[in-house]
Amino acid sequence: MTEKQANRLFDLTNVVLITLAVIVCIAPFIHIIAISLSSSRAIMSGEVTLLPIEVTWEAYKRVFTDASMLRSLGFTMYLTVITTILSMIMTILAAYPLAKSSLRWKSLIMFFIVITMFFSGGMIPEYLLVRDLGLINTTWSLVLPNLISPFFLIILITFFKGIPDSLEEAADVDGSSHFRTLFSIVLPLSAPVMATLSLFYAVNRWNGFQDTLMYITNPNLYPLQLKLYQIVSNAQASDLLRSEGVGMFEIMPEGLKAASVIFATVPILLVYPWLQRYFVNGTMVGAVKG
Partner 1 sequence: MRASIYYARYWRLYAMLVLPVLYFVIFKYGPMYGVQIAFKDFNFFQGIHGSEWIGLEAFREVFNNQEFYKTLRNTLMLNGLDLVISFPAPIILAIMLYELNINWFKRISQTILYIPHFISWVIIGGIVMQVFGTQSGMINNVLNGLGLDSIPFLTDKNSWLATYLATGVWQSAGWGTILYLAALTGINRELFEAAEIDGANRFRRIWHVSIPGIRMTIVTLLIIQLGNMISIGFERPYVIGNLAVRDFSDVLSTFVYRIGIESGQYTIATVVGLFQAVIGLIFLLAANTIAKKLNGEGII
Partner 2 sequence: MRFSFGLLMKFGLLRHLISLILGFIAENKFIVSKRCQQAYCDYPQRLMPTGDDTNTGECNAMEKQKSKIKSYGKLLIPMTLSMSLLLSACSGSGSPSEASQPEGASGGSGERVTLKLEVFDRGNAPSGMTISNNYLTNYVQDNFGTPNNIDMEFYPVPRSEETAKLNILMASANDVPDIVFTYDSGTFYRYASQGGLTEVGELLDEYGPNLKAFLGEDALAYGQIDGEQLAIPGRRLVLGKYASYVRQDWLDKLGLPVPTTTEQLYDTLVAFKEQDPGETGGRVIPLGMSVAPAQLDSLLWSFVEPISDEERITRTQKLGSSDYPVLLPGYKEGLRFLNKLYHEGLISKDFALDEDKKLLWQDVQNGLVGAYSEDAGELLFEYNGTYKNLQANSPGAVMTPIDPYVNAEGLSAKPGYAPNAMFIMIPKSSKRAVEAIKYLDWMASEDHLFFMQNGVEGENYTLVDGIPVANADASQDIKDRLYNYGDMAIIVNGKYMGDDEKNAEAYIRQVPEVYHDMMRTSVEISDTNKSAPIIMPVPIEAESRYGSALRAKLNEIIVKLTMSSPDTFDTTYDSLMNEYMAGGGQAILDERTKVYEDMMK
Residues of this chain, 228-257, that bind partner 2 according to CB under 8 A: 229-231, 233-240, 242-252
Minimum CB–partner distance for residue 6 and partner 2 (Å) = 47
Cβ–Cβ under 8 Å, residues 61 and 120: no
Q: 199: burial class by Cβ within 10 Å (0-12, 13-18, 19+)?
A: middle
Q: What x-and-dash track marks residues 140-159 binding partner 2 by CB under 8 A?
A: x-------------------
CB within 8 Å of 47: residues ≥ 6 apart: 38, 53
- For position 175 contacting partner 2 by CB under 8 A, the verdict is no
Residue among 161, 208, 168, 200 at smallest CA distance from 185:
168
Window of 6-14, 122-130, 156-164, 189-197 that interacts with partner 2 by CB under 8 A: 122-130
Q: What's the DSSP call for residue 127?
A: H
Residue among 130, 282, 267 at smallest CA distance from 202:
267
Sheet strands (E) in the chain: none
**139 contact choice in partner 1, partner 2, none (CB below 5 to 8 Å, kind-dependent):** partner 2
CB of 63 or CB of 189, closer to partner 2 = 63
d(CA 152, CA 201) in angstroms, rounded, equals: 9
Interface residue with partner 2 among 103, 128, 266, 269 (CB under 8 A) is: 128
3-state DSSP call for residue 157? helix
Interface residue with partner 1 among 70, 82, 154, 187 (CB under 8 A) is: 154
Task: Point out which residues bind partner 2 (CB under 8 A).
Answer: 40-41, 44-46, 65-68, 75, 78, 82, 86, 89, 123-124, 127-128, 131-140, 179, 213-214, 217-221, 226-227, 229-231, 233-240, 242-252
